[in-house]
Every structure is written in C-alpha cells, then in structure tokens.
Amino acid sequence: MQKIAVTADIDNGLDSPVSHHFGHCRAFIVSTVEDGEIVKVETVPNPGHSSCSEPVNQLASLGVDVLITKGMGMRPFMAAQQVGLTIIRSSNVTVGDAIKTYLQGVGELMNRDGLCGGGGSHDGGCQP
C-alpha cells in the first residue's frame, strides 16, 4: 500500500487541477494505492501555516509516501526530505493524470535545481 498526495487548488477529487505551488495550494488530494490501483481518495485541507514544515508534517502523519506538485520552495523541500517523502514534479493537468503518470514510472524526481525562489511572488517559476 502507498499513499500519494497531490497539491490541488480546488477540491474536485481526481479531476482537481494540480497546484503550481505546494505551500499555497488549497488542499492535498490523498490517494491510497494498492497493487497499482487507486482504492481510496480523500481531501486534506491545507490550512494556513506559520512554518513551511507544518503541511509536510501533516502529510507525513497521514502516512503519505509520495508528494506530487508542480513546484515548491527550498524549506518545505528540505522538510519533506527529512521525513522521507518522495517528491515528484508534475506537468500533468489533473491530480488523476499525475498519479497515473507516477504509477507508470514516468514521474520526474524534484531536485534543488527546480525549486521555486520563495518569497511573496514565487519568481522561481512555480506560477503558470
């Protein structure tokens, strides 16, 4: 069993668009996968946070193994690595497509070179 969280700006389950930025997403769509098939989908709101590690720790406490997003800053990236989350950069439009792509082994591991610059405007390329 594996739990995969995908950042989303609206809650429409697997049809939600993948958010461009981890810290500013409205919710995480968390899918439980068994034998390559999605068996459960739940929405976890992303409440306001005072620390970049808060949403990471929230996902880790839920048993999430993999985080899929279009972008994130250095601080949550480091926090995610510390708790053992695999972080995948997605270019997919919907959460469902992002998960399917990952399960097909096509996902791109996020690394430091592709992180957002941070700050209010997120000039590092996270916004569309």
User: What are the domain boundaries of the chain?
Assistant: 2-114
121 pLDDT band, cuts 50/70/90, is very low
**What digits encode the pLDDT tens for the residues 23-78?**
889 999 999 999 999 999 999 998 776 677 889 999 999 999 999 999 898 889 99
Averaged pLDDT score across all residues of the chain: 87
State residue 85's pLDDT score.
95
114 pLDDT band, cuts 50/70/90, is low
Phi-psi region of 70 (alpha: psi -120 to 50; beta: other; left: phi over 0): alpha
pLDDT greater than 60 at residue 92: yes
Strand 66-69, strand 27-34: pairing: unpaired
pLDDT greater than 60 at residue 115: yes
Strand 27-34, strand 86-89: pairing: unpaired
21 pLDDT band, cuts 50/70/90, is confident
Report d(CA 95, CA 70) in Å as an integer. Answer: 11
Report d(CA 114, CA 47) in Å as an integer. Answer: 25
Query: Domain 2-114, what fold?
Result: Nucleotidyltransferase; domain 5 (3.30.420)
Stated pTM of the model: 0.88
Instruction: Please state, in angstroms and as integers, the Cα–Cα distance from residue 125 to each residue in 43, 74, 111, following that order.
Output: 26, 13, 14
Instruction: Please state, in angstroms and as integers, the Cα–Cα distance from residue 85 to each residue in 121, 123, 127, following that order.
Output: 26, 25, 23
